[in-house]
Amino acid sequence: MKNIKFNIIIWVSLASVSVLVACNDILDEAPDNRIESIDTAEKIEELLTGAYPDAAYVSFLEPMSDNAGDKGPSADTGIDYATTLNQRMYFWEDMNDVDEDSPTNYWNRAYKAIAQANQALASIEALGGGAELDYLKGEALICRAYAHFMLVSIFSKAYNPDTADLDLGVPYVTEPETVLLGEYERGTVKAVYDNIQKDIEVGLPLVKDNYNVKAYHFTIKAANAFASRFYLHKGEWQKVVDHSTIALGANPISVLRDWESQYRPKTYDEQVQRYRSSTAEPANLLVVSAESLYNRYHYSARYQLNSEVASQLFFSRNLTGGRWSFDVYGSSDLYYNLPKFEEYFKVSNQAAGTGTAYVTYVLLSTDEVLLNRAEAYAMLGQLDNALVDISNSYLLKTAANDPLFDPPGVPKNITSSDITDGYGNFPQGIYEPFYTITDTSLPYIAAILDLKQTIFYNDGLRWFDIKRHNIEVRHTDILGNSFLLTKDDSRRQVQIPEAAQSFGIQQNPR
């Protein structure tokens, strides 16, 4: 068959929009003929580059969490829609804007990614499958599972086996789009989780590592990292340990992000380059380049890292007795930020100065995997193992030159006494997941969640722990007014986009 360039048209019915996805080296065909057109492994590989949600969720999940405080009216993003998004999400209001960085954009991009994955699977089947295409099938299934998992984690209630068969899920799409604006039902959280688990169980054994730039694909380690996160949400602790151990390898400390030696001595720009790198930073297991303006305003948004939150997370001593290696940049809380983001501006019209802004986001990392495993160990009662993982994480993120250390320059290992002294009086009831946390495990869980909140500040992960552990969130404004997101507040579920609602997708209760 002749080899020419083409555009696949994928109808993303759930967003009530059509998305034009450009793919090179595939035949130019109408949508009904696209399965026959994608007729080689190379074409399917190219199709799968679009099977990852290329949108930001950090931008709207961070201000919803307890990582954000009110900087006051002097703070300004300089971007009207970003100012509105930041404010509304801080006060847990519904947001139906379709611009970059919005919940609607994430919904649309996630379902576009799912459509790409489903098209790849259909093309593999049309080619007869076989061992030579299994690695592509594995990647497609894990991509489909991941996008659905992120959607259900954002737009639905947290998984609870006692209520999951009643709680509203998200549509789980398993077929390529063949019609515009097809009909879908949300189903239940249980149904979504069952389908995700099925895709993981079938897809993960097929995944391979044959990629030029591994961090942009679900490699064996990245796929196991995702499985680690999924089973953490399900409370299946041994599976968390098993998948985490594969993702971390035999020497976990060698693949963790070393803030003390690899970041702290560097300039701001050098730290950013390493944090987002797909090659230089071994901790990065999966990254994505997303259309986003977040780099332009994450430091100046009003509801972001203010003095109160910065003091809680970064300016106090940690369990080693030392200071964090995280350097908070900015002369005041109007500009406080950590070096994690950089914009790439792709010019479309040089004369007019127009184009599209992209930001690289870290989706999965070994740092997260290690603390997933630590939490699972704690829940299994294997406190010694949990302690090892916690201590390894602390050691790489504590300033070694702290003069309080004895001997100087040597951060001490975390001990069980450090955990019990620091968190032994942690009150029951702060965390209320669907499972019981024993009195002996609770200090370890509290230490892990605090550590995660600091390490993953402005990565969006704190919101998932808030939902998973049913943590109340209290926000205050500059005038001292207090706003509480209770454990059973329906606003924990981001509202389904209006466009999807208008075509029959049931909205979240309010």
Q: Which domain covers residue 189, as residue numbers? A: 1-56+100-208
Which of residues 20 and 342 earns the better pLDDT score?
Answer: 342
Residue 72: inside a domain: no
Residue 385: inside a domain: yes
Smallest Cα–Cα separation from 83: which of 306, 304, 328, 331?
304
- Please count the other Cβ atoms lying within 10 Å of the Cβ belonging to residue 99: 16
The whole-model pTM stands at 0.93
Percent of the chain with pLDDT over 90: 82
Q: Do 112 and 164 belong together in one domain?
A: yes
Residue 328: inside a domain: yes
Residue 14's pLDDT band, with cuts at 50, 70 and 90, is low
Residue 81: inside a domain: no
Q: Do 421 and 304 belong together in one domain?
A: yes
- What pLDDT does residue 114 have? 97
Residue 161 has pLDDT above 60, yes or no: yes
Q: Do 232 and 201 belong together in one domain?
A: no
Task: Supply the DSSP string of 323-350, one letter for each residue.
Answer: -BS---BSSSTTT-B-S---EEEEEEET
Q: Do 173 and 242 belong together in one domain?
A: no
Residue 94: inside a domain: no
CATH, residue 125: 1.25.40.390
Q: Do 23 and 48 belong together in one domain?
A: yes
Residue 19 has pLDDT above 50, yes or no: no
Residue 491: inside a domain: no
Residue 177 has pLDDT above 80, yes or no: no
Task: Supply the DSSP string of 425-463, one letter for each residue.
Answer: TPPTTS---SSPPPTTTHHHHHHHHHHHHHHTTTTTHHH
Domain boundary among 177, 192, 208: 208
Q: Do 203 and 147 belong together in one domain?
A: yes
Measured CA to CA, the distance from residue 144 to residue 156 in angstroms comes to 17
Residue 61: inside a domain: no
Domain boundary among 160, 187, 208: 208
Sequence-separated (6 or more) residues with CB below 8 Å from residue 466: 65, 66, 473, 492
Measured CA to CA, the distance from residue 501 to residue 44 in angstroms comes to 32
Residue type at 266?
A: K
Q: Do 292 and 361 belong together in one domain?
A: yes
Q: Do 310 and 451 belong together in one domain?
A: yes
- Please count the other Cβ atoms lying within 10 Å of the Cβ belonging to residue 37: 19
Measured CA to CA, the distance from residue 476 to residue 466 in angstroms comes to 18
Residue 200's pLDDT band, with cuts at 50, 70 and 90, is very high
Residue 353 has pLDDT above 50, yes or no: yes
Residue 497: inside a domain: no
In three-state secondary structure terms, 123 is helix
Residue 52's pLDDT band, with cuts at 50, 70 and 90, is very high
Report whether 342 contacts 295 (CB < 8 A): yes
- What pLDDT does residue 30 have? 39
Measured CA to CA, the distance from residue 374 to residue 282 in angstroms comes to 20
Q: What is the domain count for the chain?
A: 2
Residue 37's pLDDT band, with cuts at 50, 70 and 90, is confident
Q: Do 435 and 345 belong together in one domain?
A: yes
Calculated CA dihedral for residues 68, 73, 76, 78, nearest 10 degrees: 140
Domain boundary among 190, 208, 226: 208
Measured CA to CA, the distance from residue 228 to residue 423 in angstroms comes to 25
As a whole number, mean pLDDT of residues 359-378 equals 98
Query: Tokens at residue 428, please?
Result: 């029951």
Q: Do 175 and 244 belong together in one domain?
A: no
Residue 352's pLDDT band, with cuts at 50, 70 and 90, is confident
Q: Do 411 and 379 belong together in one domain?
A: yes
Q: Do 301 and 351 belong together in one domain?
A: yes
- What pLDDT does residue 409 have? 64
